[in-house]
Amino acid sequence: MKQLLLLRHAHAQEALPGMEDIARPLSPRGRAEALDAARCIAKAGLRCDAVLASPAVRATETGRIVAVKLDLLADLRIEPALYPGDPEALLGVLKHCPDELETVLMIGHNPGLSEFAQHFNGAEAAIELRTAGLCAITFADQASWRALPPRPAALALLR
């Protein structure tokens, strides 16, 4: 059974004058949020086979904090297509995942991440992931990353 975890990066510092958006680091609040997200993943008993993070500093830092807490640092990959991360780019990254990966954690940005979650939510209420918001999408047993069904078996907001 395939499972996709979508995690919006944790709270970031405001950009300093002349700082590019991609360079914004996590705030102290954001570091705490990232730890909380890792605890939430662990408490739910979810075991990630891969952690894919946007190259934006705030997403990479979120990914490192979560990966260290869950002993997944070796499974952390920085994916350039996740920044800024429109839904088509996110789907493209997933389509390149090997099918032996059962659970993939993707760390990115809004609005793309929430829109991507909504793609699998159909006509249900809109999904808006807050900072360090976590969504779990579970697909049927026969699902392949190359051809995900439009409606998953289950979608749940975990944080």
Rounded to whole angstroms, how far apart are CA atoms 107 and 52?
Answer: 6
What's the token pair of residue 79? 């994916």
Q: Which of 28-37, 68-77, 120-129 has the least mean pLDDT?
A: 120-129
pLDDT given for residue 106 in this prediction: 98
CB-side exposure of 102: number of CA atoms within 13 Å?
Answer: 6
pTM summary value: 0.96
The answer on pLDDT for 145 being more than 90 is yes
pLDDT given for residue 110 in this prediction: 96
What's the token pair of residue 93? 């990254």
The β-bridge partners of 108 are 8
What backbone phi and psi angles, to 5 degrees, belong to 118?
-65, -35
Give residue-wise pLDDT tens across range 28-55. Answer: 999 999 999 999 999 999 999 999 999 9
Domains in the chain, number = 1
The separation between the first and the last C-alpha atoms of the chain, rounded to the nearest angstrom, is: 22
Domain of residue 55, residue span: 3-14+21-157
Give the residue with greater pLDDT, 44 vs 140: 44
pLDDT given for residue 104 in this prediction: 97
The percent of residues above 90 in pLDDT, for the chain, comes to: 82
Write out the DSSP string of the chain: --EEEEEEPPPBPPPPTT--GGGPPBPHHHHHHHHHHHHHHHHTT---SEEEE-SSHHHHHHHHHHHHHTT-GGGEEE-GGGSS--HHHHHHHHHTS-TT--EEEEEE-TTHHHHHHHHHHTTSSPP---TT-EEEEE--TT-BTTB--SS-SEEEE--
Q: Which of 18-27, 62-71, 89-98, 120-129 has the least mean pLDDT?
A: 120-129
pLDDT band for position 123 (cuts 50, 70, 90): low
- CATH number, domain of 56, equals 3.40.50.1240
Rounded to whole angstroms, how far apart are CA atoms 82 and 70?
Answer: 21
pLDDT given for residue 1 in this prediction: 86
